[in-house]
């Protein structure tokens, strides 16, 4: 759909955002902040990693989101015996003894990488090219992926037996690292009522692929004041220990800081957050609204921080 102006497109984005939250809220109760960040990542053309203990509806949330978008959805259950070819695809001989490429599960618009840390690094890295370049290379032949394309991954933070930590290079490709907390008492009462009855909720499709791509282009066009860009970049520089702009917290508690991709995502996330809240240009508050999920998987604590139980989120809060 073509809009006559960016203002009209922005209002359509806000309307679509409200409808999506309402549809997802029919099934998933009490995860409003997580839903906000997931939708922000989609409108920013970013990938998202959801981290939470079992039973917090991580998989259900992503499946419900996929149901509200008119896009092709594939779920990949990551296991220790999963091979890269199971994700990317492979070449086989057809009846005429010619090689034919059989597409893998990654050839969809939304990929649910369920329990992504349960597969070895060799298989995890199969997603690197897809997440960054939106293509897959098999035996020297490059196959483009249809856009929009999102990888939405889940991870369990407490059960570490038989898991493989994600490489830093792959973590950096996720725009957000979203932490899911336990629901409140009132939310859990609603969850129990809705999941132990015979009620079934039909999720309506709100957005199509071309509309999502148009909203993604709109986010890119949002103007940003120089002082907001400088604030975002300065925030990232503060995380880099033993550099000229390092903060006292970084020098004291961090081993590694965030890279330039964090600065890019801070500005993009701030643009989208501003649009979703009815503003046409982001301010520093919009940067702060997305800072924690963008930075928490890009900075590495040192032994002192672990010994004093200083969390990554504590450090990010002090830097803002």
Instruction: Measure the CA–CA gap between 171 and 167, rounded to whole angstroms.
Output: 6
**Superfamily of segment(s) 6-212:** P-loop containing nucleotide triphosphate hydrolases (3.40.50.300)
pLDDT of residue 195: 81
**From the centroid of its chain, how far is CA 34?**
10
The answer for residues whose C-beta is within 8 angstroms of residue 100's C-beta and 6 or more apart is 91, 92, 93, 94
Measured distance CA(208)–CA(69) in Å, rounded: 6
Residue indicated by tokens 């550099």: 243
Q: What b/e readout covers 247-279, taking b as 16+ CB neighbours within 10 angstroms?
A: bebbeebbeebbeebbbbbbbbbbbbbbbbeee
Alpha helices in 80-135, H assignment, sequence order: 84-88, 121-124, 128-133
Nearest to 29 by CA among 180, 187, 197, 202: 187
The pLDDT value recorded for residue 292 is: 94
Nearest 10 degrees: CA dihedral of 8, 9, 10, 11? 50
Please list, in sequence order, all residues whose beta carbon lies within 8 angstroms of the beta carbon of residue 52, skipping any fewer than 6 positions away.
58, 154, 156, 157, 179, 180, 181
Q: 68-95, pLDDT tens digit by residue?
A: 999 999 999 998 899 988 999 887 877 7
Question: pTM of the predicted model, to two decimals?
Answer: 0.91
CA–CA gap between residue 66 and residue 27 (Å, rounded) = 12
Residue with tokens 């549809």: 23
Q: pLDDT value at position 1? A: 63
Q: Where are the domains of the chain?
A: 6-212, 222-319
Rounded to the nearest angstrom, the gap between the alpha carbon of residue 303 and the centroid of all alpha carbons in its chain is 28
What does the pLDDT look like over 58-75, one tens digit per residue? 888 888 999 999 999 999
- The string of pLDDT tens digits covering residues 203-213 is 889 999 999 99
Tokens representing 129 are 């090219």
> Which residue's entry shows tokens 């990929």?
111
Q: How far apart are CA 61 and CA 50, in angstroms?
A: 10
148 preceded by a cis bond (ω within 30 of 0): yes
- CA Rg, the chain, in Å? 20
What is the mean predicted confidence (pLDDT) over 187-211?
85
**Residue 160 confidence (pLDDT) above 80:** no
Q: Class of the 222-319 domain? A: mainly alpha
- Per-residue b or e along 78-87, where b marks 16 or more CB atoms closer than 10 Å to that residue's CB: beeebebebb
Mean pLDDT of the chain: 89
Express as a percent the part of the chain with pLDDT over 90: 49
């Amino acid at each position: 759909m073509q809009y006559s102006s960016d203002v009209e497109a922005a209002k359509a984005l806000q309307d679509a955002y409200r409808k999506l939250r309402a549809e997802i809220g029919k099934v998933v109760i009490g995860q409003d902040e997580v839903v906000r960040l997931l939708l922000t990542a989609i409108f920013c053309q970013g990938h998202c990693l959801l981290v939470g203990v079992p039973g917090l509806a991580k998989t259900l949330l992503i499946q419900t989101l996929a149901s509200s978008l008119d896009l092709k959805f594939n779920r990949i259950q990551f296991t220790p015996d999963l091979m890269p070819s199971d994700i990317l695809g492979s070449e086989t001989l057809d009846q005429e003894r010619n090689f034919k490429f059989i597409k893998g599960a990654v050839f969809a618009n939304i990929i649910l990488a369920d329990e992504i840390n349960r597969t070895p690094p060799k298989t995890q890295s199969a997603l690197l090219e897809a997440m960054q370049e939106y293509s897959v290379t098999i035996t020297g032949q490059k196959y483009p992926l249809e856009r929009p394309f999102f990888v939405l991954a889940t991870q369990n933070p407490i059960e570490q037996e038989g898991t493989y930590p994600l490489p830093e290079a792959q973590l950096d490709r996720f725009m957000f690292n979203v932490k899911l907390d336990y629901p409140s008492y009132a939310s859990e009462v609603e969850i129990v009522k809705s999941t132990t009855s015979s009620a079934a909720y039909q999720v309506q499709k709100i957005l199509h692929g071309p509309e999502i791509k148009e909203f993604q282009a709109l986010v890119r066009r949002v103007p940003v004041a120089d002082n907001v860009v400088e604030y975002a970049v300065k925030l990232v520089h503060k995380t880099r220990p033993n550099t000229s702009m390092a903060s006292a917290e970084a020098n004291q508690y961090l081993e590694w800081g965030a890279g330039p991709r964090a600065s890019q995502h801070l500005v993009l996330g701030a643009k989208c957050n501003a649009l979703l809240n009815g503003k046409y240009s982001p301010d520093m508050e919009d940067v702060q609204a997305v800072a924690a999920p963008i930075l928490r998987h890009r900075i590495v604590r040192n032994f002192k921080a672990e010994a004093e139980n200083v969390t990554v989120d504590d450090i990010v809060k002090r830097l803002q």
